Amino acid sequence: MKGLLSVSFGTSYEETRAKTIDVVDGKLAVAFPDRAFYSAWTSGIIVAKVRKERGETHNTLDEAFARLTEDGIDDLVVATMCLTNGHEMRKIAQHVETWVHGAEGRTACLAEPVLSSEADRKALAAALGEEFADVPEDEVVLLMGHGSPGGPNEVYSQVQDELASLGNTRFVMGTVEGEPTFEDALEQIEASGARRVHLAPFMVVAGDHARNDLAGEDDDSWKSMLEARGYETVVTLRGLGELEAYHELVCVHAQKALIVE
């Protein structure tokens, strides 16, 4: 029996989930009409949180693969909303490998992360350029990525380079837990001479990091630290998962994985 598993990190913020994860799930289901649809969130903490607070029944990876087994799925496509081959992507790959080897005759193809190729990064950079097309040239757009202490982090500078190659030189990238850091981004902002900074998440959803680390009122948020240095800030709480280009990349990667398999 054929199945499709859509995997994301998850979010406890209903509004951004409805505009991002839910939309991508819907498009994946349409793209694979001959496969039974399943979904999972890699963050067990978030799954437990929304289950306790709102009674929502999202699956952890363990629960999703248990359901696949119970339903007799033996031919699986795994779509991922991960941007890079970081910790969450590696976690997904481990679960897929364990499931495949759990019974004879099972097959699974795992899609690559959304920003795996230069073409992927160029497509998303073009969409971001359109998203912030109204920002004046003498102002800066600071994008907050998540980053990973153990890597890979090069994708962030690569996307910034793609933006610059398209003429969007006002974009600056930073990460919460990797490189480039906020300090790295600040150096570029200072060198630009801009006095107004537009803040936006370079993450699938505008969740906790976006609302607190990026745009929160505490002294250590990026917004507060920029304002303390005299910058005017403008916040846009829209996750990458709201962009049509992102939706297309997730679906295309899942389709390519099936073809390669």
Indicate whether 208 pLDDT > 70: yes
Range in 111-120, 145-154, 192-201 with the lowest mean pLDDT: 145-154
Question: Per-residue pLDDT averaged across 139-148, rounded?
Answer: 95
The per-residue pLDDT for 254 is 97
Q: pLDDT-based confidence at 245, cuts 50/70/90?
A: very high
Domain assignment of residue 174, given as a range: 118-239
The per-residue pLDDT for 43 is 95
Q: pLDDT-based confidence at 260, cuts 50/70/90?
A: low
Q: Are residues 215 and 195 in the same domain?
A: yes
Q: Are residues 93 and 19 in the same domain?
A: yes
Whichever domain contains 235, its CATH number is: 3.40.50.1400
* Residue 146 known to be catalytic: yes
Q: Are residues 150 and 83 in the same domain?
A: no
Alpha-carbon distance of 236 to 238, in angstroms, equals 6
Indicate whether 261 pLDDT > 70: no
Indicate whether 65 pLDDT > 80: yes
Q: Are residues 169 and 67 in the same domain?
A: no
Q: Are residues 174 and 254 in the same domain?
A: no
Q: Are residues 92 and 12 in the same domain?
A: yes
Q: Are residues 91 and 164 in the same domain?
A: no
Q: Are residues 63 and 33 in the same domain?
A: yes
The count of domains in the chain is: 2
Q: Are residues 96 and 9 in the same domain?
A: yes
pLDDT, tens digit, 9 for 90 and up, residues 76-131: 999 999 999 988 999 999 999 999 999 999 999 999 999 999 999 999 999 999 99
The per-residue pLDDT for 111 is 98
Dihedral sign (CA 20, 22, 26, 32): positive
Q: Which of 58, 95, 101, 146 is catalytic?
A: 146
Dihedral sign (CA 204, 172, 177, 114): positive
The per-residue pLDDT for 122 is 97
Question: Per-residue pLDDT averaged across 192-198, rounded?
Answer: 97
Alpha-carbon distance of 132 to 2, in angstroms, equals 40
Q: Are residues 229 and 134 in the same domain?
A: yes
Q: Are residues 24 and 47 in the same domain?
A: yes
Question: Per-residue pLDDT averaged across 179-204, rounded?
Answer: 97
pLDDT, tens digit, 9 for 90 and up, residues 8-51: 999 999 999 999 999 999 999 999 999 999 999 999 999 999 99
Q: Are residues 123 and 235 in the same domain?
A: yes
